[in-house]
């Protein structure tokens, strides 16, 4: 029997994806499941689904700010309220895809998420992204340079289109065995673990 897989769809601009990224590896390890990091462009999903981004709704944005601080404290995850909520995540998303799926990609994901949501850094800045990747033991300059490759650009578009085709409408989403079962949000990881354990 082949090993079960979980595709973790995320965007660096999603703070709930950051929370989930810090938790999902243990869920997969505990259930002998292969974790595959799948960056996507959440703005593309919002457009496809004619959805309003949550941070544009004032009451929801205020709630999110308090909620994220509570979650970070509860889970013991480093977190810093961003001075400017919006940043362009495309460079970081492409750099993640440029990293090898075996070993490097997870390091890139954690380094870039940490930079955005624990250090309040702008991932759209090439020097910032390069430095974060270097600090994670990766070749930041090479990964950032590869973000210009058409193959990497296409892969990010394909990831977003695949997610849309699966019915994904936000981030994070955890997809078991390429669509067998899907879980939306950081707060569904316990259900994901239960499903993997019982499957």
pLDDT for res 33: 97
Buried b (16+ CB within 10 A) or exposed e, 123-153: bbeeebbbebbeebebebeebbebbeeeebe
One pLDDT digit (tens) per residue for the chain, 199 residues: 578 999 999 999 999 999 999 999 999 999 999 999 999 999 888 888 777 777 777 888 889 889 999 999 999 999 999 988 778 999 999 999 999 998 899 999 999 999 999 999 999 999 999 999 999 999 999 999 999 999 999 999 999 999 999 999 999 999 999 999 999 999 999 999 999 999 8
pLDDT for res 51: 75
Containing structural domain, residue 148:
5-198
Q: How many domains in the chain?
A: 1
pLDDT of residue 1: 57
- Tokens 């981030």 belong to which residue? 171
DSSP state of 178: T
97/88 Cα distance (integer angstroms): 16
Give every CB contact of residue 76 below 8 A, 6+ residues apart in sequence: none
Cα-to-chain-centroid distance, residue 162: 15
CATH number of the domain where residue 143 is located? 3.40.30.10
d(CA 75, CA 78): 9
């Amino acid at each position: 029997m082949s090993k079960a897989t979980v595709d973790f769809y995320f965007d660096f601009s999603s703070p709930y994806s950051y929370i989930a990224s810090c938790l999902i590896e243990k869920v997969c390890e505990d259930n002998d499941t292969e974790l595959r990091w799948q960056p996507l462009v959440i703005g593309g999903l919002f457009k496809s689904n004619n959805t309003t981004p949550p941070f544009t709704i004032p009451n929801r944005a205020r709630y999110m700010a308090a909620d994220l601080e509570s979650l970070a404290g509860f889970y013991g995850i480093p977190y810093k309220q961003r001075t400017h909520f919006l940043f362009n995540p495309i460079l970081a998303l492409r750099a993640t895809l440029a990293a090898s799926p075996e070993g490097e990609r997870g390091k890139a994901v954690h380094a870039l998420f940490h930079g955005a949501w624990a250090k309040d850094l702008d991932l759209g800045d090439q020097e910032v992204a390069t430095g974060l990747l270097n600090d994670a033991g990766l070749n930041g300059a090479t990964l950032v340079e590869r973000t210009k490759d058409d193959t990497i650009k296409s892969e990010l578009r394909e990831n977003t289109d695949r997610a849309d085709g699966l019915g994904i409408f936000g981030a994070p989403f955890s997809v078991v065995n390429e669509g067998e079962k899907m879980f939306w949000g950081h707060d569904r990881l316990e259900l994901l673990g239960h499903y993997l354990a019982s499957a």
